[in-house]
């Protein structure tokens, strides 16, 4: 397989750093690595395959000769620079929200809609929101069996979902509290996160749902090709370093039992069933960090469902930096080589 020139836009961030590891672990055919970031990071080094590679300034010319760009920067940077990369012939797999809902940009979770990757007329493919990926990986095989109608989701999202600043802030707050100090400014969070929960991720939008909560519905509809599916989501930031957790109630067209769900999920790609409550076995974020599977457990009937047989409730956890971002992007890139 011919080696590729691969650029990482945002190579110094939480997702970019993880991408370097994923490319290495998955033995992606990288002939040349081009790590890009802001002026702040120019000249810093990132480690790749036992070597130190110098970070360059992310600017349009930096994409000359690049085959694949893995985007791990914010919306504004992605909007400004990825079309420049695409214009120069690179195919971009982007983690930001910038292009996710554009009609001519596929939005892909490979376990669900890898067939959409082939049609990328703008040379841009979008990686979905992290909580959406973690939730939909187990929902999809259940949908194939029973026909999804509606989702009610509560997310418990890790501090590192807010990038390197979020990760560092939770570490700092935990240290300060242990030492009996004053917390002071809590950026990037609106409030202290340590010993607390914050029921807001993103800005308030339609009917006072947050932007993060609407992603689960809008991106979910596009990924699953289910424009009618109804989603009610509440997103909460929790004092966990890494791995998002979700409580999901899924209502289906047809009956499905918890045992059937366990059997389907046991052989579903990207999923690991950890569901033995009598032995106190269920998914937890500490166990799901730094690996690629979405763990699913606490699978049970939805006692509130009108007919009692068409709805299930379960709990899942997955590493949002890996499967929710870097791994998913590298999986998509694997279809391009």
Catalytic residue among 130, 233, 316, 317: 130
Distance in angstroms (rounded) separating the CA atoms of residues 292 and 329: 12
Q: How far is the CB of 136 from ligand NAP (least distance, A)?
A: 14
* Residue spans of beta strands (DSSP E) within 253-301: 271-273, 294-301
Restricting to residues 209-228, which ones interact with ligand NAP according to CB under 6 A?
Answer: none
Kindly state whether residue 160 participates in binding ligand NAP, applying the rule CB under 6 A: yes
Catalytic residue among 97, 235, 244, 317: 244
User: Is-contact 126 205, C-beta < 8 A?
Assistant: no
- Segment near ligand NAP (CB under 6 A); pick from 4-12, 141-149, 218-226, 310-318: 4-12
Of residues 5, 29, 74, 284, which one binds ligand NAP by CB under 6 A? 74
Kindly state whether residue 132 participates in binding ligand NAP, applying the rule CB under 6 A: no
- Residue nearest ligand NAP, Cβ-based: 13
Pattern of binders to ligand NAP over 31-70, x per CB under 6 A? ------xx-xx----------------x------------
**Structure-block tokens of residue 38:** 């802001």
- Segment near ligand NAP (CB under 6 A); pick from 12-20, 61-69, 117-125, 307-315: 12-20
**Structure-block tokens of residue 62:** 């930096």
**181 CB-near residues (< 8 Å, 6+ apart):** none
Kindly state whether residue 288 participates in binding ligand NAP, applying the rule CB under 6 A: no
Distance in angstroms (rounded) separating the CA atoms of residues 194 and 282: 24
- The stretches of the chain forming alpha helices (DSSP H) are 14-25, 75-87, 110-113, 130-146, 163-178, 211-224, 258-266, 285-288, 327-334
Considering only CA atoms, give the Rg of the chain. 20
Q: Is the peptide bond before 226 cis (omega within 30 degrees of 0)?
A: no
Distances (CA, A) of 210 to 10, 139, 234, 235: 25, 22, 8, 8
Of residues 6, 46, 70, 72, which one binds ligand NAP by CB under 6 A? 72
Distance in angstroms (rounded) separating the CA atoms of residues 260 and 154: 23
**Structure-block tokens of residue 22:** 């994923």
With the C-alpha atoms ordered 191, 99, 75, 291, is the resulting torsion angle positive or negative?
Answer: positive
Of residues 68, 69, 136, 325, which one binds ligand NAP by CB under 6 A? 325
Active site residue 130: yes
Fill in the DSSP letter of residue 113: H
Closer by beta carbon to ligand NAP, 37 or else 333? 37
Q: How far is the CB of 106 from ligand NAP (least distance, A)?
A: 17
Of residues 6, 16, 136, 153, which one binds ligand NAP by CB under 6 A? 16
User: Is-contact 1 334, C-beta < 8 A?
Assistant: no
Q: How far is the CB of 218 from ligand NAP (least distance, A)?
A: 15
- Segment near ligand NAP (CB under 6 A); pick from 8-16, 173-181, 207-215, 216-224: 8-16
Q: How far is the CB of 51 from ligand NAP (least distance, A)?
A: 19
Of residues 4, 7, 10, 327, which one binds ligand NAP by CB under 6 A? 10
Q: How far is the CB of 145 from ligand NAP (least distance, A)?
A: 28
Q: How far is the CB of 322 from ligand NAP (least distance, A)?
A: 9
- Cβ atoms < 10 Å from Cβ of 17: 20
Positions annotated as catalytic residues are 130, 244
Which residues would be at the binding site for ligand NAP (CB under 6 A)? 10-16, 37-38, 40-41, 58, 72-74, 77, 95-96, 130, 160-161, 163-165, 320-321, 324-325
């Amino acid at each position: 397989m011919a080696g590729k020139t691969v650029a990482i836009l945002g190579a110094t961030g939480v997702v970019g750093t993880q991408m370097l590891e994923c490319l290495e672990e998955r033995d992606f055919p990288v002939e040349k690595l081009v790590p890009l970031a802001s002026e702040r990071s120019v000249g810093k080094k990132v480690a790749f395959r036992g070597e130190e590679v110098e970070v360059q300034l992310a600017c349009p010319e930096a994409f000359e000769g690049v085959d694949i760009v893995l985007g791990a920067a914010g919306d504004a940077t992605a909007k400004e620079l990825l079309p420049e990369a695409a214009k120069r012939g690179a195919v971009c797999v982007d983690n930001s929200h910038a292009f996710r809902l554009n009609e001519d940009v596929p939005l892909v979770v490979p376990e669900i809609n890898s067939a959409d990757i082939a049609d990328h007329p703008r040379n841009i493919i979008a990686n979905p929101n992290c909580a959406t990926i973690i939730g939909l990986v187990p929902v999809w095989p259940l949908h194939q069996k029973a026909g999804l109608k509606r989702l009610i989701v509560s997310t418990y999202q890790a501090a590192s979902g807010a990038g390197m600043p979020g990760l560092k802030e939770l570490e700092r707050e935990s240290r300060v509290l242990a030492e009996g100090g004053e917390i002071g400014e809590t950026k990037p969070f609106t409030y202290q996160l340590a010993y607390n929960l914050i029921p807001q991720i993103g800005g308030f939008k339609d009917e006072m749902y947050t932007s993060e909560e609407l992603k689960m519905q809008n991106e979910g509809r596009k990924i699953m090709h289910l424009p009618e599916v109804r989603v009610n989501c509440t997103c909460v930031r929790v004092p966990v370093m890494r791995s998002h957790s979700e409580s999901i109630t899924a209502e289906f067209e047809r009956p499905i039992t918890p045992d059937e769900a366990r059997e389907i999920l046991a052989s579903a790609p990207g999923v690991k069933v950890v569901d033995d409550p009598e032995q106190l076995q269920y998914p937890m974020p500490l166990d799901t960090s730094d690996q690629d599977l979405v763990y699913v457990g606490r699978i049970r009937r939805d006692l509130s469902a009108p007919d009692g047989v068409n709805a299930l409730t379960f709990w899942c956890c997955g590493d949002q930096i890996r499967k929710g971002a870097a791994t998913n992007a590298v999986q998509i890139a694997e279809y391009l080589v």
